[in-house]
């Protein structure tokens, strides 16, 4: 008998950088396929899954703004980059037989569905993976905040953030040897220590709505499925009882 799921309905946030693999920018097909396979395994376990994917592998809004571009315009370009990533992930998932829908906060009817909350929930109830693109549809909000917002709107039991390290550390463990790793944190800990794995608006939104945040290494094979079984290495951010 399979081990029961820790969470029935989850939102997985994947950074655009996670899709680059060994490349310096753009999409690495093998990496996208590996993440898609991990998502498929979780769907097979009976979980309801939705995704938010960043756009940093294609366009960094802040870098465009810093080069003299209007900041709002740069952020809209970043949102469009997330749509490209969402379509790539949809293609990878459907190639392995996972029913998928992309919903964009910026309507583009020829490419994908507009974001409609009740329709998204129905898709998930039917076992489809819903990929939310274009962030919140507004400039100056990160895809982390968009992920927290959609997790709350969808009634998710947890928000999982797939990163390139196996949890939250006091500093970047790839740059600082001896950085402290945390198994659990409170929302207050994250804000007070200014741990920058997710922006403060996203943390606050999750805190206000009681959505646990789980940080794990998306590049480790099978890591998403392991976390859903309560296994492997990850950091959980929750409100203390």
Q: What is the pLDDT of residue 98?
A: 98
Q: Is the pLDDT of residue 2 over 60?
A: no
Q: What is the pLDDT of residue 170?
A: 93
The residues spanned by each domain of the chain are 9-237
The arithmetic mean of pLDDT across residues 112-136, rounded, is 98
Query: Among 88-102, 169-183, 205-219, which stretch is predicted with the lowest mean pLDDT?
Result: 169-183
Q: What is the pLDDT of residue 64?
A: 58
State in words which class domain 9-237 has.
alpha beta
Q: Is the pLDDT of residue 130 over 90?
A: yes
Q: What's the Rg (C-alpha) of the chain?
A: 17
Q: Is the pLDDT of residue 1 over 90?
A: no
Q: What is the pLDDT of residues 39-89, one digit of tens each?
A: 999 999 999 999 999 999 987 655 655 678 888 888 899 999 999 999 999
56 vs 128: which has the higher pLDDT: 128
Locus of tokens 């583009």: 108
Q: Residue 83: which residues within 8 A CB-CB, separation 6 or more?
A: 102, 104, 106, 108, 111, 112, 133, 134
Q: What is the DSSP string of 24-58?
A: SSS--HHHHHHHHHHHHHHHHTT-EEEEEE--TTT
59 vs 127: which has the higher pLDDT: 127
């Amino acid at each position: 008998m399979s081990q029961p799921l820790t969470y029935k309905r989850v939102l997985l946030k994947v950074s655009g950088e996670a899709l680059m693999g060994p490349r310096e920018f753009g999409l690495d097909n093998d990496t996208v396929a590996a993440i898609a396979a991990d998502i498929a395994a979780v769907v097979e376990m009976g979980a309801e899954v939705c995704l938010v994917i960043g756009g940093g592998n294609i366009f960094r809004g802040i870098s465009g703004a810093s080069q003299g571009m209007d900041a709002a315009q740069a952020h809209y370009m970043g949102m469009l980059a997330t749509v490209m990533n969402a379509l790539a992930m949809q293609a990878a998932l459907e190639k392995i037989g996972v029913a998928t829908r992309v919903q964009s906060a910026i309507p583009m009817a020829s490419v994908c569905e507009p974001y409609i909350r009740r329709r998204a929930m129905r898709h998930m109830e039917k076992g489809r993976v819903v990929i939310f693109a274009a962030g919140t549809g507004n400039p100056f909000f990160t895809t982390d905040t968009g992920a927290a917002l959609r997790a709350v709107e969808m009634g998710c039991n947890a928000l999982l953030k797939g990163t390139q390290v196996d949890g939250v550390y006091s500093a970047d463990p790839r740059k600082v040897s001896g950085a402290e790793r945390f198994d659990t944190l409170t929302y207050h800990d994250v804000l007070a220590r200014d741990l920058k794995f997710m922006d403060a608006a996203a943390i606050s939104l999750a805190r206000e709505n009681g959505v646990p945040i789980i940080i794990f290494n998306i590049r480790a094979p099978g890591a998403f499925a392991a976390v859903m079984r309560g296994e492997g290495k990850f950091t959980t951010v929750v409100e203390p009882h």
